[in-house]
Amino acid sequence: MGDVQYEVVDVHSHLTDNDFEKDISDVISAAQKSGVKAALVVSIGKDDFPKVIELNKRFPDFVVPCLGIHPVQGHGDNQRSVTLQDFEGVVESIEEHKEILAGIGEVGLDFSPRFVKSDGSKDEQRQVLTKQIEIAVRLGLPINVHSRSAGRPTITLLKELGVKRAHLHAFDGRPSVAMEGVREGYYFSIPPSIIRSEQKQKLVTQIPLDNLLLETDSPALGPVKQERNVPANLDIVVDYIAKIKKVDPSEVRRITTQNAVKLYHKLARFLVK
């Protein structure tokens, strides 16, 4: 594949969020200057699809789109568990843009009690995730997975469905559960909030570097709670992983970048010279 240049990749971000409306050009420029070569930008719901595609058109040398339906829909106080009705029209939209998509995401399960009021909601989330996995398999794309308060159920479902190419972002479960995913060849991305999260630190202690990726989840999960997160903060993640793994930061950059290209083949054009 040629020589890989070891800049880093943000494998999970929400750069279409309103928090970036006024200064997205500056945010991307700062990221590039800090060594971030590309960012996967994921959607939450159908309304985000056009925004993600438009951002890719504005910044084709940085923004790599992923389209999918998140297990939690709505905004603010109106957030709720996803339904099959939310999925209507999704297949057609994904098919329309399949040539430029790096993956299907953000998809997954979210069993947080404030969103899930019944087993029926959990079942419907599983159905929506299953349908999106079917799309990913058909298009030969990996999935970018959310699994809040549902680590084991998510990994169990992925295994049952025979998923081979998966990336679990900001995993909040126990390291022992994550290791079940590692054994399946899944990747786990770590955000800058690792510096204030004992759980994330334990994850990195257990998960091999060959299964780790870097993410920001911008504008969330930054180094300082409630402050806007940006892709340029990936250096914070690199340095913290290097400290835990007792390796040079350049090794973290090299391996996580290799991992990203292995999983998300569309990234090769950004990173292989």
Q: Which residues are annotated as a binding site for a divalent metal cation?
A: 12, 14, 106, 146, 169, 217
Name the nearest CA neighbour of 143 among 38, 69, 238, 59: 69
Binding residues: 12, 14, 106, 146, 169, 217
Distance CA 108, CA 71 (A): 6
> Count of H helices and E strands in the chain?
10, 10
Task: Give the pair of three-digit tokens for residue 222.
Answer: 């930054």
Task: Give the pair of three-digit tokens for residue 245.
Answer: 């793994």
Alpha-carbon distances of 237 from 13, 66, 166, rounded to whole Å: 14, 22, 21
Name the nearest CA neighbour of 106 among 187, 213, 19, 217: 217
Alpha-carbon distances of 47 from 108, 140, 142, rounded to whole Å: 18, 24, 22
- 234 and 221 in contact (C-beta within 8 Å)? no
Strand partners of residue 72: 81
Task: Give the pair of three-digit tokens for residue 76.
Answer: 């603010």
Distance CA 27, CA 75 (A): 24
